[in-house]
Amino acid sequence: MMDAISFARALRSWYDDQGIVLPWRGHPDPYAVVVSEVMLQQTTVAAVIPYFARFMARFPTPHALAAAPLDDVLAAWQGLGYYRRAHNLHNMARVLVSEYQGRWPTTAQGLKALPGIGDYTAGAVASMVFGQPALALDGNGVRVLSRIMGFTDVVSPATPALRAFAAACVPNDRPGDFWQAVMDLGRTICRPKNPTCLTCPVRDCCVGWAQGNVNEIPRLAAKKERPHRTGQAFVLHHNGHVWLRRRPDQGLLPRLYEPPTFGWEGPSAFTQDSELWEACGVVRHVFTHFSLSMDVFSANHKNPPFTEGNWYPRGDLPPLSSLAKKILQQTLFWVA
Ligand code: SF4
């Protein structure tokens, strides 16, 4: 097996020299690290930085977050997408305050008992804030470590051989910096495609490099093909206002606002008056479990033909799902 200790040393010395400065790095407050880690799921570092600053200013403690109405949290999340993360964070803060009296568990296992905290986030917080030699394997970690090992089998964060190697690498001294270094290396040098191995600080320790097969590693399990759905969206606008309805509290995109949509979440009927509605093209969107194409129609008209919803002014829209934003952007309401 690759020499885990030499690798960890070389990596950390590179990080000490070249580590990227980020607002949540070295933060002593587990809450700040949890917020940043949740935001970084499915979003880039550059996009997260301004949201993190605004979110922490608006909800500086778990108590402030727990006390805030969910709609305020969703509004602060607007633009980051994947709103399920905001729901989870809010729920986690409420449980932390009500059941843990605001005191954070200090081990990965204890942190994982909080709602919305998965294996990776628990390991990241335990190592970065509490100095525990826990495992924090996200996509970057899986890629970097399996390349270092030259591991050519199908791999995931749960693969025992990868976890054993990771456990051998993570030091007792500053374990959090080890994971930060893995993340930096994965983002900047050991990228998914065309890693720049010639500039890599741990190339001498990399079995994948020595084998000449880094581009075939990691081998990830084939993704299931997503089913495709179709639907229609109707953007009614008048006098700088748009008609929106709030989605149900449960299910997909809970409590977010959207123009009325039909047909894509099961059978539903809306008989459109073809004199009124103008076709504005098709919007495509990909959810985790299916892809969607939505025919968009718009009308400038003051009498809504819908049973649910309200008018909202252009300058003060409530929290919209990314899909709703795409739909509105397809129409004259957005550009007017
Ligand atoms: S040598 Fe290449 S594959 Fe190996 S860790 Fe460095 S960048 Fe990644």
Query: Ligand 1 within 6 A of 187 CB?
Result: no
Which of 204, 184, 245, 193 has its CA nearest to residue 40?
A: 184
pLDDT at 2: 56
Query: Ligand 1 within 6 A of 92 CB?
Result: no
pLDDT at 22: 86
Query: Ligand 1 within 6 A of 148 CB?
Result: yes
* Residue of 199, 214, 216 to mutate, ligand 1, most atoms within 8 A of C-beta: 214
Pairing of strands 228-238, 291-300: parallel
Q: Is the peptide bond before 267 cis (omega within 30 degrees of 0)?
A: no
Pairing of strands 278-286, 261-262: unpaired
Contact status, residue 234 vs residue 260, Cβ threshold 8 Å: yes
How many Cβ atoms from other residues are within 10 Å of residue 274's Cβ? 9
Q: Mean pLDDT of successive 10-residue segments in the chain (336 residues)?
A: 83 89 84 93 88 95 96 88 88 96 95 93 94 95 96 96 96 94 94 95 95 94 89 93 92 90 82 82 90 93 89 91 90 75
Q: 147: CA distance to ligand 1 center in Å?
A: 7
pLDDT at 151: 96
Say what the pTM is: 0.79
| Catalytic status, residue 278 | no
pLDDT at 107: 95
Domains assigned to the chain: 1-8+135-222 (1.10.1670.10), 28-128 (1.10.340.30), 228-335 (3.90.79.10)
Give the whole-angstrom CA distance, residue 244 versus residue 34.
32
Cα-based distances in Å from 12 to 7, 8, 177, 185, 248: 9, 6, 7, 10, 48
Query: Ligand 1 within 6 A of 292 CB?
Result: no
Per-residue model confidence as pLDDT tens digits over 148-203: 999 999 999 999 999 999 999 999 999 999 999 999 999 999 999 999 999 999 99
Q: 49: CA distance to ligand 1 center in Å?
A: 27
**Nearest atom within ligand 1 for CA of residue 189:** 7
Give the single-character DSSP code of 196: -
pLDDT at 129: 93
Q: 122: CA distance to ligand 1 center in Å?
A: 26
Cα-based distances in Å from 255 to 223, 236, 247, 318: 29, 20, 5, 10
Using CA positions, which residue lies closest to atom 8 of ligand 1? 190
Backbone angles phi, psi at 328, to 5 degrees: -65, -40
